[in-house]
């Protein structure tokens, strides 16, 4: 399949369909980001407010690139693995009781 578009000189150009479109990599809205990451929507708002998530805004909507979210998760996994190798433990829940 081939997509056609007009460039700035109003010339028709062809784009092969195997080139990924920008829209395929962008998630818009906290619900879409939360669904993609498998976390509650509230967590997306919390991480966004704390500037801990690679997001950007389009108007009032928060958006993220899937590729950046994957890189973010991989970075967190590597960081946690390095901490474990260094002897730090990361408590996931209170083990008392």
Does this model's pTM top 0.75? My answer is no
Question: Which tens digit of pLDDT belongs to each residue from 28-68?
Answer: 999 999 999 999 999 999 999 999 999 999 999 999 999 99
Residue spans per domain, the chain = 23-85
Listed residue (21, 19, 22, 48) closest to 33, CA to CA = 48
The terminus-to-terminus CA distance of the chain in angstroms comes to: 61
Q: Are strands 61-65 and 56-58 parallel, antiparallel or unpaired?
A: antiparallel
Helical segments of the chain, H only: 30-37, 41-49, 66-85
């Amino acid at each position: 399949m081939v997509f056609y578009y007009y460039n700035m000189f109003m010339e028709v150009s062809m784009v092969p369909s195997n080139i990924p479109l920008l829209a395929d990599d962008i998630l818009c809205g906290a619900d879409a980001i939360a669904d993609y990451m498998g976390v509650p929507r509230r967590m997306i708002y919390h991480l966004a407010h704390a500037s801990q998530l690679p997001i950007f805004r389009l108007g009032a909507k928060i958006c993220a690139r899937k590729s950046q979210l994957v890189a973010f998760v991989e970075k967190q996994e590597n960081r946690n693995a390095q901490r474990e190798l260094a002897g730090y433990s990361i408590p996931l829940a209170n083990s008392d009781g």
